[in-house]
Structure 1
Amino acid sequence: MATPPREHIAESLLKRAHSPDAAATILREKVKQRHLLLRPTSPDPSLNARSKRQYERLQKSKAERKSKKPKPLSAKRKRALCIYEIPKEQQKYAIYEPIHSMWCAYMREILGLSEGKRVYVDANSAGPMLVSADYHGALVEVTRSRCVSRVGLKGIVVKDTKFTFEVVTAQNELKIVPKEHTVFRFEVPFEQQEGGEDARKPLVFEIHGSQFENRAPDRANKKVKPHSDPDL
């Protein structure tokens, strides 16, 4: 007398949570008919001497390639090599004047002032644009600061770090201005019309450096909510 087939252990477990028909369907699709994926393996070095030599050559070549790959410089090494320092011969105001002209065109574009599309901007529309804008090339002037000696300092931004603006003044001097407790002013002139200069006055903006204490790439994705500044 033939013995009846034993119930699959997975089917018995599935019947505890599902109906018999659902358990049979899950068992058939997920267990019995499931494809078994096989990955080809490397030859076992212990099988023969030839496979062992090939394995050793492969490991040696990997180690050589890894040793030849240059390691990235550490922050300490970068400071020692002065990678991010602006050379003395490049601290010239005339070098960065064309960059300032490009920055003015860039600001007119993001504010919607190019091609005469708009002639008026308000805080609600311009605020998010100014927060996420790039200030490399901006001609900024310090209007208020807890350090009185910095008031009136004016120059083109050549480096926008997390806590400072590095500017080159008209006297070809590089100045590092902390953003904290400092208010900066800059102007965005309108695009000159053909046949003469534009009689409209440039737009004047003031930004609070304490709200810009972020790196330029991080500031582009940061959402800033309006709030009062207790330090002013």
Structure 2
Amino acid sequence: MEPNLHPIPPPTWNETFTTMATEPKEHIAEALLKRAHSPDQANTIFRERVKQRPLLLRPTSPDPDLDARSKRQSLRHQKAKSQRSSSSSSTKPKPLSAKQKRRLDLYAIPASQRKYAIYAPLHRMWCAYIREILGLGREGKRTFVDANSAGPVLVSADYHGALLEVTRSRCLSRVGTKGIVVKDTKFTFELVTMRDEVKVLPKEHTVFRFEVPFEDDGEEEKQKMGEGDEVVKKEEGEKRKPLVFEIQGGQFENRAPDRANKKFRAHFDPDL
């Protein structure tokens, strides 16, 4: 008995549409990769580069009103900063601190300048200065000074260029040190000795001696003798001795500018 075969009817339009909708559509990138690579390699590249590709999201746009306000604030800050920088540049720069000065060695005497001969003219200038403030110049007739008149003058004088010698000190090794003052600080004298050495001597518990020579008036006497015969020529070898002073270093523990503007009174010193 032969089987009864019936022809299968063609699918209707609804069945065709349903089949096309359910079948997954191949991605165009996957189709192109399969043409250029093997199936396994194409699947790997498609999975890593397309499916698992990170999606970067842009943050939400800020409110335009808030953005405009922040711009105005930044402009005000920039304007104020520029004004501060311009005003600070026109004013004096900030002075260096004492620590910065020591680190930079601003007041250090270089080795090439530690020569006694360099400061010898400074000492001669200082001698003329101290004679002038004591009234011992050519015009002055004074040949002596007393403590009441010379004391306030000497204590407020500037000793840069003075030839000081240590006569008494608690440190015996400092006694006899002699040199020209090149730096007068608040608590020390810095001297350049005849051996071209710089010595730092504390003022406290130290007595210093210095001499003030009278001005050489030999030329003045020659001029006077040429004018008339009434002036008697001085004997050869006769020379006035210099004035010798001793100062207590403990009473000079001030900077030279501070001593010049300070008033001193005579009083008894218990250390004497």
What TM-score do you get using the length of structure 1 for normalisation? 0.71
In the TM superposition, residue 198 of structure 1 has moved relative to its aligned partner by 7.1
Task: Report the counterpart of residue 173 of structure 1 in structure 2.
Answer: 197
Task: Report the counterpart of residue 102 of structure 1 in structure 2.
Answer: 125
Name whichever of 197-206 and 130-139 sits farther off.
197-206
Q: 1:120 aligns with which of 137, 144, 157?
A: 144
Task: Report the counterpart of residue 257 of structure 2 in structure 1.
Answer: 217
* Cα deviation code 1:20-60 (max 9, x no counterpart): xxxxxxxxxxxxxxxxxxxxxxxxxxxxxxxxxx9888645
Distance 1:58 1:113 in 2: 65
Q: 1:147 aligns with which of 164, 171, 176?
A: 171
Task: Report the counterpart of residue 111 of structure 1 in structure 2.
Answer: 134
Distance 2:170 2:81 in 1: 62
- Counting matched residue pairs gives 180
Identity level (%): 69
**Mapping of residues 1-232 of structure 1, within 5 Å:** 59=80, 61-66=82-87, 68=89, 70-117=93-140, 118-195=142-219, 199-232=239-272
CA contact (8 A) 2:152 2:265 kept: no
Letter of the 1:206 counterpart? E
Task: Report the counterpart of residue 224 of structure 2 in structure 1.
Answer: none
Which protein shows a greater Rg?
2
Letter of the 2:197 counterpart? E
CA contact (8 A) 1:190 1:198 kept: no
Distance 1:93 1:184 in 2: 19
Task: Evaluate the alpha carbon distance shift between residue 90 and residue 198 of structure 1 in structure 2; reply closer, same or farther with a 3 A threshold.
Answer: farther
Task: Evaluate the alpha carbon distance shift between residue 172 and residue 119 of structure 1 in structure 2; reply closer, same or farther with a 3 A threshold.
Answer: same
RMSD of aligned alpha carbons: 2.3
Name whichever of 58-67 and 174-183 sits farther off.
58-67
